[in-house]
Amino acid sequence: MRMDRLALDYLRRAGSRLIDAESAFKRGDYPEIVRYSQEAVELSLKAVLRILGIEYPKVHEVSDILLLYRDNYPEWFSANLDRIMEISKELALKRAPAMYGIEASGKTPSDLFDEDDAEEALKSGRYVHDLCRKFIEEFIEASDKD
């Protein structure tokens, strides 16, 4: 069963997270940018899996599942998959510290993430979201022709 509506909703919400990240950037709230960018990547990737009808575990990082279904993607998406998975893994590792810091060492989220971290996270979030949006748009267009 195709899940177009759900996938499109995930993708829209991922875009909203990027808007939130851009707003946080204007405020200089760097940990929030990392967090929102991670959420954008997570929702974008889950949108791709959802449109393909692939069930995924309810976790924040789905690279293993993406890799299992590599043959289901067009060549241009597969060519970017290693970078997509790298971004997803990196941001997933930063998710909790961006929210809570590292309490055991007395580090706040603001101690851990600076402007460079925020710029990289936002750039990565946009990259993954753009690729996923293109994938989903092409998938729907091809399905509509069938």
Residue 68 confidence (pLDDT): 96
Per-10-residue mean pLDDT, the chain, length 146: 83 98 97 98 97 92 95 96 98 97 96 98 98 96 83
Going by C-beta distance under 8 Å and a sequence separation of 6 or more, which residues neighbour residue 93? none
User: Could you identify the residue written with the tokens 């909703």?
Assistant: 9
pTM: 0.95
- For the chain, which domains are there? 4-145 (1.20.120.330)
pLDDT given at position 3: 78
| pLDDT recorded at residue 57 | 87
| Cα separations in angstroms, 36 against 11, 53, 67, 80, 141 | 14, 25, 24, 22, 29
